[in-house]
A and B are shown apart, each in its own frame.
Chain A
Amino acid sequence: MEGKTPGFDIGAGQIPGELHLAAGQEAAAVGVCHHLRDYDTVTAPHRLHHIAIAKGVDLNRMTAEIFGRETGLCSGKGGHMHIFDMDVGFAASEIMTEGCPPAVGAALTAKKRNEDNVAVAYIGEGALDQGAFLESLNFASVHDLPVVFVVEDNDWAISMPKDRITAPRDGSKRADGFDMTGDRVDHDDVVAVYEAAGEAVGRARDGNGPTLLEVQVHRRMCHFMGDPQTYRSKGDQTAHRKRDSIERLAEDLRAFDIGDEELEALRDRGPRSCQGGDRVGPKNNRSPSRRLLTRTCSPTHPRE
C-alpha cells in the first residue's frame, strides 16, 4: 500500500475526522443559494461547507463545530459532516443521498401549508445511482413538490470517475424518467449556474414542480484532507485546477472594467466574516461535559 499513506494522522489533528474540502465547487453553492431565503431548506451531503456558507450558516459557530467545540452549531456532537443551522434552514447528512427524502419532506410541508418555501437537495454525481435519490425524484414529481435537486458533478466519487460507474453521462437525464424538468450546466461558471438555478428555484416557488439540475464543478483537492489521491493522474489534477470558477468570475468582472483593486477588496471581505479560531470558544475539556450523554431527545417536554 505504498503511497496510500495519508499525509498525516487524521485522528490526531486539531480537526477531528475526515474533513472534505469543497474547493472547486463554489459555483454550485453560490449560483443556487443566491436565489434562496432563510426559510428555504437546504440539505447537503458530506462535502458541504461551501453550501453552508452560501446558505448563510453562522460561520463562527460552524467553525467551532468543525473544531468539535461545545460552542459549535451542534455542541460538538455533529461535526463537520453533520452541520445543522435551523435558523437558516440548513441540515446535512453524511449518508449518500439520504438528504433527498428530508428535502422532499420540507417541500411537502411547504405545499401543505400553502407557503412559497423551496427546498434544495444537494448531492454529488457519485450519488446518482442511489435509491433514496431516485425514490425522492418520483415522490417529488408525483406530488408536484417545490424542490430542486442539485447534482454537483466533480467527476470523482472518491476514486471512481463518473463514466466508469454511472450511465448516462449527463445526470440531469435522470429527470426524464420521472416527468420532471432536467437541466445541466456543463462548465464551472457561477453566472451560468445562477441563471439555470433561477429557472429551477423560480419554477418551484411558483408551484410548478421540481427540477433536477446538474452542475459541472471540479475537485481541486483530495477526497478528504490527507487523501494522497494515488488513483488520480497528475494531469487530471492539473486540469481541474485550471477550471476555477472564482478565476473565471474575476475574468468576467474585468471585462466589465472591474479593476484588480476592487477584486482584492471583494476577496478580503470573505475571511473577515469569520472571526477565526480564538473566537470559536474554548478548546474541548479533557472531560466532556454532562451533555455528552443527554439530548438524544428534545429539551422540550411532551405536549399535554
Chain B
Amino acid sequence: MAVPADLDRTMTMSGAMVEVIATEMRADEEMFYMGEDVADCDGIFDSTEGLREEFGRDRIMDVPISETAYIGAAVSAAQEGMRPIAELMFVDFFGVSMDQIYNQMAKNTYMSGASVSVPMVLTAAVGGTYNDAAQHSQALYGTFAHLPGMKVVVPSTAYDAKGLMHNAIRDDDPVVYLFHKRLMGIGWLPAPDGPKTGVPEESYTIPFGSADVKREGADVTVVTLGLHVHRALEAAEDGVDVEVIDLRSLVPFDEETVLESVRKTGKLVVVDEDYRSFGVTGEVISRIVENGLGDLDSVERVAVPDVPIPYSRPMENEIVPDSDDIIDSIHNTNS
C-alpha cells in the first residue's frame, strides 16, 4: 500500500477531502464550492464540514435546486479562469443536469479546438448498501467514464482521497470526483475500518492513472474501486494469495499495473458496484484481453446484475456484490 505505515494522524475520508478543499481555498481566492445544502448543513455527506464557518456563504454557496443552472454556471466560471467545485448531491441526479456535464463541461475544450479550459471539479456521492433504493444508490462509474472529456476519480481511503482531491483541484480539465457514501465516515452511515487511514498533514498529490496495489499476492488479481476495494481485501483473507488493485481513477486508466499483475497471477477478477453490462468490468477485461491475452488463464467479473437497485435490505444485499461473492469468483478462477 502507498500509505506510509508510521502515520499517527488518522482521518475519515470526508475529513481528508475537506482538509484539501480548505487548504486549496486558502491559497486561491478564485476557488469556490457550490451545491445543495453545502453551507449551513455542511454537506449531507459531510463533504463540506466546517467550510462555511471559515469561508462564508459567498465561497461555500448553497444553490437553488437547479443542477443544470449551477453546474452550467460552474462550467463558465471555470472557463473564465475561476476554480469552482460543484457538488451533485447524489450521482443519481445526473439525469437532470447531464447536458451541462457531458455536452458542455466535457466537450468545450475539444469543440473549441482547445481554446478554452474547464478547470472544475464535479463531486458526487455514489453507492448503495443502506437501502436508499433505485434512485439514490447507484455507482454509475461507467456512465461518466464512457463519455470523453472528463477525468473520473474514485477514492477508497482517506489517504487516497486527499492526494486525489489535491490533484483534481489543480487539474486544468474537468474532473468528476465520485465519493462513496459508505466510505465517508458519516455518523449515521458507519464506514468499514478500511477507509479511515493515516493522512500526512502536508499537501501531496496522487497522479490520476496510477492504480494502487492495496494488497500484494501471487495467485489471483482482483481489480476494483471504491467500496469494493475493502470488500475485496476482506475476501482476500480467505486463504488464496490474492492481489488487490484499486484503480483510483477510471479516466485515465492504469492499464499497465493491471497487466503486470495478470502477468504474475494469470487470473483476473474484476469487481464493480456498477451495473454488469457495458460497464467497468467489461472495459477492464477488454483492455487486458486486447493487450495481455496470452497471460490470461481465467477471468471472472462480479457486478450488480442488470436491474435497478432494489429497496428491501435482503434484496439489495443480494445484488450488491459482497465479500462472499468475490470469494466465490476467486475460487472459480481456480476451478
Q: In the bound complex, how far is the Cα of B115 from the Cα of A72, in angstroms? A: 11
Determine whether the beta carbon of B73 is less than 8 Å from that of A295. Answer: no
B226 at the interface (CB under 8 A from A): no
Determine whether the beta carbon of B76 is less than 8 Å from that of A109. Answer: yes
Question: Chain B residues with Cβ under 8 A from A95's Cβ?
Answer: 99, 103-104
- Which one of A129-137, A214-222, A229-237, A238-246 is at the interface? A129-137
Determine whether the beta carbon of A105 is less than 8 Å from that of B72. Answer: yes
A127-145 at interface with B (beta carbon < 8 Å): 131-132, 135-136, 138-139, 142
A86 at the interface (CB under 8 A from B): yes
Given contacts A77-B111, A132-B72, A136-B69, 9 further A-B contacts (CB under 8 A): A75-B114, A91-B76, A91-B112, A101-B76, A138-B64, A139-B66, A297-B173, A298-B117, A300-B172
Question: Chain A residues with Cβ under 8 A from B119's Cβ?
Answer: 298
Measured CB to CB, the closest approach of chain A to B242, in angstroms, equals: 33
Determine whether the beta carbon of A72 is less than 8 Å from that of B113. Answer: yes
Question: Chain A residues with Cβ under 8 A from B171's Cβ?
Answer: 302
B210 at the interface (CB under 8 A from A): no
- Please classify how large the interface on chain A is, using the bins under 10, 10 to 19, 20 to 34, 35 or more: 35 or more
B79 at the interface (CB under 8 A from A): yes
Determine whether the beta carbon of B68 is less than 8 Å from that of A132. Answer: yes
Q: In the bound complex, how far is the Cα of B63 from the Cα of A138, in angstroms? A: 10
Question: Chain A residues with Cβ under 8 A from B173's Cβ?
Answer: 297-298
Determine whether the beta carbon of A82 is less than 8 Å from that of B104. Answer: no
A273 at the interface (CB under 8 A from B): no
Q: In the bound complex, how far is the Cα of B112 from the Cα of A93, in angstroms? A: 11
Question: Chain B residues with Cβ under 8 A from A102's Cβ?
Answer: 72-73, 75-76, 79, 104
Question: Chain A residues with Cβ under 8 A from B113's Cβ?
Answer: 72-78, 84, 295
Determine whether the beta carbon of B32 is less than 8 Å from that of A112. Answer: yes
Contact with A along B94-132 (1 / 0, CB 8 A): 001001100110001111111111010000000000000
Q: In the bound complex, how far is the Cα of B108 from the Cα of A77, in angstroms? A: 10
Give 21 CB contacts A-B under 8 Å.
A72-B113, A74-B115, A77-B111, A84-B108, A84-B116, A86-B79, A86-B115, A91-B76, A91-B79, A91-B112, A101-B68, A101-B69, A102-B75, A105-B74, A105-B77, A106-B76, A132-B69, A138-B69, A297-B109, A298-B172, A301-B172
- The chain A residue sitting closest to B100, CB to CB, is A101
Q: In the bound complex, how far is the Cα of B103 from the Cα of A301, in angstroms? A: 23
B149 at the interface (CB under 8 A from A): yes
Determine whether the beta carbon of A131 is less than 8 Å from that of B68. Answer: yes
Which residue in B66, B74, B170 is a CB contact (below 8 Å) of A138? Answer: B66
Q: In the bound complex, how far is the Cα of B215 from the Cα of A181, in angstroms? A: 62
Determine whether the beta carbon of A101 is less than 8 Å from that of B75. Answer: yes
B80 at the interface (CB under 8 A from A): yes
Question: Chain B residues with Cβ under 8 A from A106's Cβ?
Answer: 76-77, 79-80
Measured CB to CB, the closest approach of chain B to A144, in angstroms, equals: 13
Determine whether the beta carbon of B99 is less than 8 Å from that of A98. Answer: yes
Question: Chain B residues with Cβ under 8 A from A297's Cβ?
Answer: 109, 149, 172-173
Determine whether the beta carbon of B72 is less than 8 Å from that of A100. Answer: yes
Q: In the bound complex, how far is the Cα of B118 from the Cα of A106, in angstroms? A: 13
A299 at the interface (CB under 8 A from B): yes
Measured CB to CB, the closest approach of chain B to A114, in angstroms, equals: 11
A103 at the interface (CB under 8 A from B): yes
- The chain A residue sitting closest to B74, CB to CB, is A105
Question: Chain B residues with Cβ under 8 A from A73's Cβ?
Answer: 112-113, 115
**Listed residue (A75, A85, A105) with the most chain B CB atoms within 10 angstroms of its CB:** A105
Which residue in B72, B81, B110, B111 is a CB contact (below 8 Å) of A101? Answer: B72
With contacts A102-B76, A131-B68 taken as known, whether A296 is within 8 angstroms of B63 at the C-beta atoms is no
Measured CB to CB, the closest approach of chain B to A150, in angstroms, equals: 17
**Listed residue (A95, A103, A139, A304) with the most chain B CB atoms within 10 angstroms of its CB:** A139
Q: In the bound complex, how far is the Cα of B104 from the Cα of A302, in angstroms? A: 20
B188-223 at interface with A (beta carbon < 8 Å): none
A284-304 at interface with B (beta carbon < 8 Å): 295-304
B148 at the interface (CB under 8 A from A): yes
Q: In the bound complex, how far is the Cα of B219 from the Cα of A134, in angstroms? A: 57
Measured CB to CB, the closest approach of chain B to A291, in angstroms, equals: 8
Determine whether the beta carbon of B66 is less than 8 Å from that of A91. Answer: no
Determine whether the beta carbon of A304 is less than 8 Å from that of B117. Answer: no
With contacts A73-B113, A86-B115, A135-B64 taken as known, whether A41 is within 8 angstroms of B72 at the C-beta atoms is no
B298 at the interface (CB under 8 A from A): no
